[in-house]
Chain A
């Protein structure tokens, strides 16, 4: 079955790196995603990784995928106060376009 889990909260200081972790259970996941949600707003896609990749880098964002352990992480370098938000991990399964989301990790960036 599909299940995506994340830790609830992460607090970092401005300028530090943030690492948000996610585990998933379905081995037939084809794509894994990171979405960002700011207060009162919808979800915004940050980045995604295809399941046959180990790593993807996009400016300050680095996504690492360990398919054996079904573990996904998002690293944000030089974290800024504007990065404070809830980050959702999501997976899509072969043949389905709808995403299954985790419960979200609230990132708090302290000045």
Chain B
């Protein structure tokens, strides 16, 4: 079974530039999550999708972050304009059942200079 795929693995940009991350969840998983993991911290939820609808985006900085999940499968997370404090690993995860078991991708590491 293929896991959660994310790209790019690494991205370096200057502040005020924009960046986009892509995620392909495990086939059949209805729920998709984007987490932000700052160095030395645990992952923090940015947004949760159920199929292509948003379930929770309460911690998404909507002035600069946006996310969409077209057709209930792939998802993109965009940051525009980026700030220095956005440097982090952006983790995508998906889940199927009610136990809340999340399957994570390897993450996209963003460095903002």
Contacts and interface: CB of A to CB of B under 8 A. Distances in A.
Contact of B40 (A48, A100, A103): A103
Given A41-B106, A45-B101, A97 B42 contact: no
Contacts of A99: 45, 100, 102
A42 B4 contact: yes
Interface in A56-103: 88, 90, 92, 96-103
Interface size class of B (residues with CB under 8 A): 20 to 34
B102 A104 contact: no
Interface in B38-58: 40-45, 48, 55-56
Nearest to A86: B42
Given A101-B44, A103-B41, A104-B42, A42 B100 contact: no
Interface residues of A, number: 23
10 contacts: A41-B106, A42-B104, A42-B105, A42-B106, A43-B102, A90-B42, A97-B55, A98-B48, A99-B102, A103-B41
